[in-house]
A and B are shown apart, each in its own frame.
Chain A
């Protein structure tokens, strides 16, 4: 267990950041974090510790756990839990969990607004697009690595990322400099 303890100590901040970005709020992220580590310890082998792709392995587990959690949420929606969902949504807005407190005073209001807008926009992305986007833009993995982690073809990774980016653009319209003439891509146009 000592080996896994060290493994946990080394990677838990990375896993937390990833689960926070995926889940969108601190509470769901904590569940996802625990589920990821529980699955990891069951599948862990000491050899894994030596591998350079240990982080990718953990993130693949987290992505699968995220997929499963979204599936469970869809089942709950079938049971007409609209009231619960709206309460949960309010709690997400109240507790973004994304930005650490105590940012520098020079941190502009606009930049803060962009971060808040990004957070909302990412949490609205469908699960598959969100996973690809977070792995690419927040965790910095390459398309090929994401393809192996999620078990989907590389061309699908590129398509999902493209879709995610186009959706995010629509949410960022208010932050776009008007003088530059920066129209949003419209579906169906060349």
Chain B
């Protein structure tokens, strides 16, 4: 092996050499290194093996069904944005959110840090229950839904 080039340098040079022509100096350095280094000769041989293997692959044509399905999809106004929700639904959702937030604020206002569960008023307990339940649902719903689909073998949903 030469002192000037490490195996890593030579490997990288060989990869670069696939893209461009070596200068005379580079070519000589690589050749000298390869003469004395079985590991780098192995790298070159493996590189040829990989490239040969890849060149040997006969790639399948895209399935006709996929091609025509995609073409239909592209023709069906692909730039259209998803349908927006009607304004009254947004207003209703906002109203429900505000009412719920107000109710939670009022219910939780009666709770003080020193209280035990037994001391909590019914409204406070209900508020805590609703918060915990919503948090759990937000976290667990995707897991439960996808696990259910996976059990059914529904890969469209699982992938």
A residues touching B (Cβ–Cβ < 8 Å)? 1, 4-5, 8, 12-13, 16-17, 20, 27-28, 30-31, 33-34, 37-38, 41-42, 76, 79-81, 83-84, 87-88, 91, 97-101, 103, 111, 114-115, 117-118, 136-138, 142-143, 158, 161-162, 165-166, 168-169, 172, 175-177, 180-185, 189-190
Nearest-CB residue, chain B, relative to A98:
B57
B133 located at the interface, meaning its Cβ lies under 8 Å from any Cβ of chain A in the complex: no
A38:B158 contact, CB within 8 angstroms: no
Provide 12 A-B residue pairs closer than 8 Å at the C-beta atoms, listed in order of the A residue. Answer: A5-B71, A16-B66, A30-B63, A31-B159, A37-B74, A84-B149, A99-B57, A143-B16, A176-B46, A185-B11, A185-B43, A189-B7
Q: What are the residues of chain B within 8 A of A118 when measuring CB–CB?
A: 50, 53-54, 57
Q: Given contacts A100-B59, A185-B7, is CB(A180)–CB(B147) below 8 Å?
A: no
Does B96 sit at the interface, judged by CB under 8 A? no
Instruction: For A172, list chain B residues within 8 Å (CB).
Output: 46, 49-50
Given known contacts A84-B150, A100-B59, A168 and B45 CB-to-CB distance under 8 angstroms: no
Which one of B34-42, B84-92, B102-110 contacts A? B34-42
Which chain B residues lie closer than 8 Å to A28 at the CB level? 159
Complex CA gap A16/B66 in Å reads 10
- Top 4 A-B pairs, shortest CB-CB distance: A182-B42, A16-B62, A100-B60, A84-B150
> Which residue of B19, B51, B57, B59 contacts A143 across the interface (Cβ within 8 Å)?
B19
Q: How large, as a class, is the contact surface on chain B? A: 35 or more
User: Main SS of chain A's interface residues?
Assistant: helix
Residues of B within 8 A of A (CB): 1, 6-8, 11-12, 15-16, 18-19, 38-39, 41-43, 45-47, 49-54, 56-63, 66-67, 69-71, 73-75, 78-79, 142-143, 146-147, 149-151, 153, 155, 158-159
DSSP majority for the B interface?
helix
How far does the Cβ of A175 sit from chain B's closest Cβ, in whole Å?
6
Q: Which A residue sits closest to B9, measured CB to CB?
A: A190
